[in-house]
Amino acid sequence: MREIVLDTETTGLEAHGGDRLVEIGCVEMVNRILTGNVFHVYINPERDMPLEAFNVHGLSSEFLSDKPVFLKVADEFLEFIAQDTLVIHNAAFDIGFLNAELERAGRPTIARDRVVDTLALARRKHPGGGNRLDDLMNRYGIDSSRRVKHGALLDAELLAEVYSELLGGRQASLIGLVEDASEAPRLVVAAQAAHPRPVPLASRVSDAEAQAHGAFVAALGEKAIWLKYADDAPADKAPA
């Protein structure tokens, strides 16, 4: 399963009010493992940079003046994300800007139903708690020392770690175990494969306990849910 963790930086908050994208950062995950494949671009917004936005991401008008306009990178961006799931924090903001730029460029927009919003996931998992990206990194002990200012690619990398933790962190220990990123999906499949125990463990249920349970289930009637498991029980332990 391929997913793209994505972040953007902009000149402000109004996608349809004159503000523009200035940076896109994407990192690829396959089976929830970072592959090392990224898409990153700075964009000339063709307008000035408000001081409030500059203080957030540090991208000046001078720095962006020789960068490509969105139209020049639109096709490369769409090719990278393909039709795969996009993982975004506070997705409505980023998707609003991306779709506004795509519309201006005459390109297909991004459907909302292919987006996973980690802010919504965090609010369900941690109701009442702080759920900004910084809050979640602190909650999960993710090193944010590199994050002096906001940056789309760095924030996408950090969000990928947060996303893994929001889903339980079951595969976090596998990250970095393989030198070749192409081996990551194979490693995950191998780690998740079921291996039957060579010698089944002896039952801890005594004969008396099994008989008592059988009598209890019999008293529940023909619709007792325990009867669904009777066929899987050892012959000498099955409910009476």
Give the Cβ contact number of residue 64 at 10 Å: 20
User: Average pLDDT of the chain?
Assistant: 83
Dist CA 120 CA 89 (whole Å): 8
Question: For residue 181, is pLDDT > 80?
Answer: no
Rounded to an integer, what distance in angstroms lies between the CA atom of residue 176 and that of residue 240?
A: 52
Whether residues 121 and 220 fall in one domain: no
Q: Name which residue leads in pLDDT, 71 or 187.
A: 71
pLDDT category at 238 given cuts 50, 70, 90 is very low
Are 124 and 173 members of one domain? Answer: yes
122-142 confidence digits (pLDDT tens): 999 999 889 999 999 999 999
Residues 27 and 128 in one domain: yes
* Options 57, 89, 150, 213, the catalytic residue: 150
Q: Is residue 57 among the annotated active site residues?
A: no
pLDDT digits (tens, 9 = 90+) for 103-120: 999 999 999 999 999 999
Read off the tokens for 102: 């795509």
* Domain count of the fold of the chain: 2
Residues 140 and 223 in one domain: no
Amino acid at 149: K
pLDDT tens for residues 207-233? Answer: 887 788 778 777 777 766 666 665 544
* 164 has a pLDDT exceeding 60: yes
The count of other CB atoms within 10 Å of the CB of residue 151 is 20
The candidate with the shortest Cα–Cα distance to 188, out of 1, 39, 19, is 1
Range of the domain at 48: 2-184
**34 and 118, same domain (yes or no):** yes
Percent of the chain with pLDDT over 70: 77
Cα–Cα dist 88/115, whole Å = 7
